[in-house]
Structure 1
Amino acid sequence: MEINSKIKRRLALNKIKPYQPGKPIWELQSELDLDQVVKLASNENPIGPSPKAVEVLQHSLSTLNRYPDAHATRLKEVLAAQLSLSTEQFIITNGADELITLISETYLEPDDEIIVLSPSFSEYQFGANLMGANIVSIPLDNRFQINIHTILSSVTDHTKLVYVCSPNNPTGTYLSSNDLEALLLVLPEHVLLVLDAAYSHFATNADYTDGLEFVRSGHQLIVLQTFSKIYGLAGIRVGFGAAPSSIIASITSVKEPFNVNTLAQYAAAAAIEDIDHVNQSKLVNTSGRKQLYEAFSRLGLSYIESMANFVFVKIGHGAKRVYERLLEGGVIVRHGDAWEMPEYLRVSVGTQEENAKFIKQLELIKSKAEYRG
């Protein structure tokens, strides 16, 4: 017989909603007895992991009896050389998600404020709620663009962190280099800007910046990046932050000593030097975005031009039904409910073949008039 616990949990937990990941392939196959499933739901790299990373992993298994390097020294050295920063300007984490939590633990007291955009990545709120801080949510404009004046007008004496995801998840829109510089110049000294650049490698517009140039010039911001996207290492969870060394030192003080496993460290160090894989991933993504744009235009669906590896498309009132029908056809996407945008779907860019399967299923659903656009 199970006994209900009398231990009182923290009140902050009442505000926390567990993250809802995209449905995994195996789960849909099991539910619907499907042989083939295309997953376009979690913004993963469709061409797979870096071959150089896989090779390193295969040769590193015999070292697993040893604890990992608590400082991720080799990976920091590779990052420093590639990105023209010092090793003291990096922190290596168990994916960018852990870094968001560490930033919250480092800087937030109860009743401090963070500013987030809406719709955007939900983990920023998770960290704030964990620490009992308040969340100030400001909407993107009517074209889903990031307006720095709206951000600045929301800053108060209680603001500690401003989160900007660029390119933004789920919209794919971004903050230009000029706007980012203007924001950094005006933000008060007591506010840290957190630029989540997880999708930066997919951006193709000339005025985009991943923010690292501003870290190099000494501005007060931290740039988040991940090896889960362009490098195809989502399954081993490794990311990093780049910032002035004083900020990195503060965040490191709350980091667990062995937070990133040995295999993740080795694979990431190899992947960042795998230029051929990075370039091929970019080509597949750019052509895949175009493939999706053309299909949406042909079907009369409005979408947001994206600088990321996904496209946010407006289906209309029947979007949930379309999402369910796509699942039945062996295609997994993300429904906009996750961002309180129920008329939208977020579609990750796959290979040409995966995109074609999705488009075929969408055309079939529309031909049966199962939704109103």
Structure 2
Amino acid sequence: MSCDFLALANSGVQSLQPYQAGKPTSELERELGIRNIVKLASNENPLGISNRVKQLLCDELDELSRYPDSNGFYLKTALAQKLTAKAEQITLGNGSNDVLELIARAFVSEQHEVIFSEHAFVVYPLVTKAIGATAVQVPAKDYGHDLDAMAAAITERTRLIFIANPNNPTGTFLTSSELKHFLDKVPEHVLVVLDEAYYEYVDKAERAPSIAWLNHYPNLIVSRTFSKAYGLAGLRVGYAVSNADIADVLNRVRQPFNCNSLALAAAELVLDDADYLTASVEINRVGMIQLTERFDELGLDYIPSKANFVTVDVGRNGAEVYQALLQEGVIVRPIGGYGLPNHLRVSVGLENENQRFLEALCKVLALK
């Protein structure tokens, strides 16, 4: 074959590398023949799906020969009521990643710049480069967003700014006052995406009233997901809340049926399952203490996190430690690609899963 198909691709796509998701347990089983694997790599909810969702999915199977509701009427209605918003402000996506890409494709061109922080979610530079826009990565401050520097980076070419709060993969957090001070500096024609994928894990008293801010900042877009605290990662459903004019633009480029029937029904149900959400948050709170207290005992530095993961400095090449942990049947996430070559991101699991990881880490690092 003589044709260079990579050369035929858009220039922005040519420089991309495929997104590297956390290694699935089935892959490690095939590669090493290991059983009873603990996966703490993808910030998934260790509780699994709720019992109410399990029953619902069984009840919905007979309808899978039909297309889903392309507009997601019932889920949008439930979200609007829960968030004190209007249904026409909501855009549904195949996970919040889908929504982030929709925003970039709808509003950004090759003539524009997109601003995001160092150590921020890898999807931000990925979607920016894919559409041929200029990526402006602002150096991090204490592993998180330097909002003053990000505001100073705005030019006449800036069209979009991504902010993750809490940030992935560092777990750092911006206060309401910090965010509001930043938003006051941003010109109205520059869109700001506040990515709140881990919003539910933040203490209620500390959460930014971001949805209420939409009335004052028409250029603000808030994105959230059902993949984390709500336990629906495998069904892929997320959403954005914005002013209605922005949502109208997003729905012009959104693929029809981008949320499947099971995802729509499960998200609507779990949104109202307060007991499940409370249990998810509590498991995370307890597990975070279990991990970080042991890190303290071992003398390992870590980045304080408001999410359902913690990033720890293992004091040596993180990729090598990751590979050694695989041999012990434990999957975590090396984040050298985020500019943190000596760190591992560890999702908070159940008590026994956290303990299994800690024991394996001590063995690999020869710690006691």
| TM-score between the two structures when normalised by the length of structure 2 | 0.96
Match of 1:182 in 2: 181
Gaps of 5+ in 1: none
Match of 1:97 in 2: 97
Match of 1:300 in 2: 299
Note if contact 2:318-2:336 (Cα within 8 Å) is conserved in structure 1. Answer: no
Greater shift, 217-226 or 244-253, is seen at 217-226
How many residue pairs were aligned? 367
Note if contact 1:163-1:196 (Cα within 8 Å) is conserved in structure 2. Answer: yes
1:22 equivalent in alignment to 2:36: no
Greater shift, 50-59 or 259-268, is seen at 50-59
Q: Whole-Å Cα distance in 1 between the matches of residues 291 and 326 of structure 2?
A: 18
Secondary structure of 2:8's match? coil
Q: Whole-Å Cα distance in 2 between the matches of residues 346 and 38 of structure 1?
A: 14
1:46 equivalent in alignment to 2:46: yes
Q: Whole-Å Cα distance in 2 between the matches of residues 220 and 13 of structure 1?
A: 28
Secondary structure of 2:307's match? coil
Match of 1:132 in 2: 132
Measured against aligned partners, the alpha-carbon deviations of 1:83-113 in whole angstroms (never above 9, x if no partner) come to 1101011011111111111111110111200
Measured against aligned partners, the alpha-carbon deviations of 1:110-150 in whole angstroms (never above 9, x if no partner) come to 12000011101111112211211000001211x22322211
Deviation at 1:337, TM superposition (A): 1.5
Q: Whole-Å Cα distance in 1 between the matches of residues 16 and 366 of structure 2?
A: 41
Match of 1:269 in 2: 268
Greater shift, 211-220 or 118-127, is seen at 211-220
Return the letter of the residue paired with 1:8. L
Note if contact 1:175-1:208 (Cα within 8 Å) is conserved in structure 2. Answer: no
Q: Whole-Å Cα distance in 1 between the matches of residues 335 and 132 of structure 2?
A: 27
Match of 1:287 in 2: 286
| TM-score between the two structures when normalised by the length of structure 1 | 0.95
Deviation at 1:4, TM superposition (A): 3.9
Note if contact 1:51-1:277 (Cα within 8 Å) is conserved in structure 2. Answer: no
Note if contact 1:199-1:308 (Cα within 8 Å) is conserved in structure 2. Answer: yes
Match of 2:146 in 1: 147
Match of 1:251 in 2: 250
Return the letter of the residue paired with 1:355. N
Return the letter of the residue paired with 2:25. I
Q: Whole-Å Cα distance in 1 between the matches of residues 204 and 274 of structure 2?
A: 20
Return the letter of the residue paired with 2:184. L
Match of 2:12 in 1: 12
Return the letter of the residue paired with 2:281. K
Q: Whole-Å Cα distance in 2 between the matches of residues 96 and 210 of structure 1?
A: 19
Note if contact 1:225-1:239 (Cα within 8 Å) is conserved in structure 2. Answer: yes
Deviation at 1:185, TM superposition (A): 1.3
Match of 1:310 in 2: 309
Return the letter of the residue paired with 1:57. L
Return the letter of the residue paired with 1:269. E
Secondary structure of 2:257's match? coil
Note if contact 1:212-1:223 (Cα within 8 Å) is conserved in structure 2. Answer: yes
Note if contact 2:68-2:261 (Cα within 8 Å) is conserved in structure 1. Answer: yes
Q: Whole-Å Cα distance in 1 between the matches of residues 179 and 218 of structure 2?
A: 11
Sequence identity of aligned pairs in percent?
A: 38
